[in-house]
Structure 1
Amino acid sequence: MQVQLISIVLILHWMEHANGQHHTSRHRQHERGPGCMGGCLTCSASNGCLTCMPRLFIHLERDGMRQIGVCLASCPKGFFGTRSPEKNDCSKCGSECDTCFDKNFCTRCRAGSYLHKGKCQESCPDDLVPSDIKRECVAPCPVNCESCLNSDTCTRCMSGHYLLHGQCHSICPEEFEPNEQAMECIPKVHCEVGEWSEWGPCLRIGKSCFGEESRTRKILQTPSPQGNPCLSTLEKRECFVKKRRCGKGNKGSRKEEKKNRNNRKEKTNSEGRRERKRERERERELGTREDDNRNKTEQLLKRTQSRDTIME
């Protein structure tokens, strides 16, 4: 009897020791160690992460026939995250969704379908139009718009219209001009010129003492087709050739110059004589008028005196 009791105690002790070893081995297999990826709380050599650190989502990635667990701050494209006290999971979106908020609400559709009120549809309701860029059902395009992002923003205008700030114009607003290639209204570019240079040397013209000097300025900004054109970039003026004897060694030129001076002087004198002559004529005419008026006054006075004598 005593031998049986000893045997039973030994058997129980062995079973307890075996269970302890099994539990320790299992705990070590699942504990976080060098084989765990970042963010894992517990992991398995064959299945990756089993549980994640707080606030991270566990996501199962397929590797052949196996599924490997990884811990992520947010779920990848095509999945949505759900949180619970036990764990945070990444769940797959519906087949028509590219991204989603949850199983029943898409936020972006796959190519070929359009989002409307959280659902992906092959066609849009009658009052909306599909947008291939946004993959959504949007309001109709603005007036004269061929394609648009929404009811307020056009991306391409109909023929004969030009795009500016999402709107189509038949005539570009002030300070803008049409670009026929892009079919857009672009800002006008006005000409800009620099400062005038110094006057150049006085270059004699012919054999006279007079010449011509010039100055220039550069174009800093070439104008666009409808921008303000450039002002003159070349300016000339008459000048007098200094430190040079005009017509030196040419008697004909000196005679011609002297003749011109005499002619100018004669012309001035002639005009003065004519003016003085006109002044004398005006004075004579004025004197004649005064004599006539004096004679008329005297005759009137004589007639008056004669009439008074007769009446006496």
Structure 2
Amino acid sequence: MQLQQLISLVLILHWMEDADCQHHASKHRQHKRGSPGCPAGCLTCSVYNGCLTCQPKLFIHLQRDAIRQTGVCLPSCPKGFFGTRSPEKNDCSKCGSECETCFDKNFCTRCKVGSYLHKGKCQASCPDELVPSDAKRECVPRVAACPADCDSCLNSDTCTRCMPGHYLLRGQCYSVCPEEFEPNEQLMECVPSVPCEVGEWSEWGPCLRILKTCLREETRTRKIVQNPSPQGNPCPATSEKRECFTKRKKCGKKDKGSRNRDQKNRNNRKGSAEGSKERKRKREREMGNREEAENRNKTEQRRKRAQSRDPQPV
């Protein structure tokens, strides 16, 4: 009997402890209604899940943070979502994957980049009677034939792509780009030409003699800051020279020692010339003497031959 009473007492105590725990847990999880702790616009909220219901006319939107979702109340749904209203609550639902904004899940109002809106659907290309508008991201009517040399156009005045061999510039196609522009073969567009840019001139350099002349000149330079594009304005000269003068004695003015050396050289050259003339005269005298001696010998020989032919007297 005492054992049964003891068991009953233990069960009663365990039940009371469990009930007390459930009471505290329920109190911790209870929703706050109109409490200052709730985010703005909430009607009811949870510590862990944010807004659970919103005030009238507001939409509840679930924001995802990793695996956790937190409710917020907004006057309109964010981009990529559309709102649905009901007596119970107003929800934000996600648009289709190809829509940037939508009216409902099956009707887009603006497409993502690369798609064009036609009858509520986002398409990669437009029907034959329409042309794509990158600005509107819609298929728009072809008002008239595209301008000449256009492969595709936004309207009758604006090209979006040119025919081969032509380059796009501000909605127009050119076979030769206008002045101050040049063709870009990769983009097939006319892009601005880049002119050459040079820096400031340096200071003039030292006044140097030009080889063995009496002229002197000084030089200054400047660097190229930006190289030009293929058809940009070419670079001007990057070096410049001008004649200069120094405070030294004039070129050609010699000192006394130099003048003496020059005079000695002239005297040597003069003496050498006079000696050459004297040697020439001596050779001429010697040649004259030899000729005279030869003539005397010839005369003597003729006289002797003549004497040998004449008879000798008895």
Q: TM-score, normalised by structure 2?
A: 0.50
Greater radius of gyration (CA): 2
TM-score, length basis structure 1: 0.50
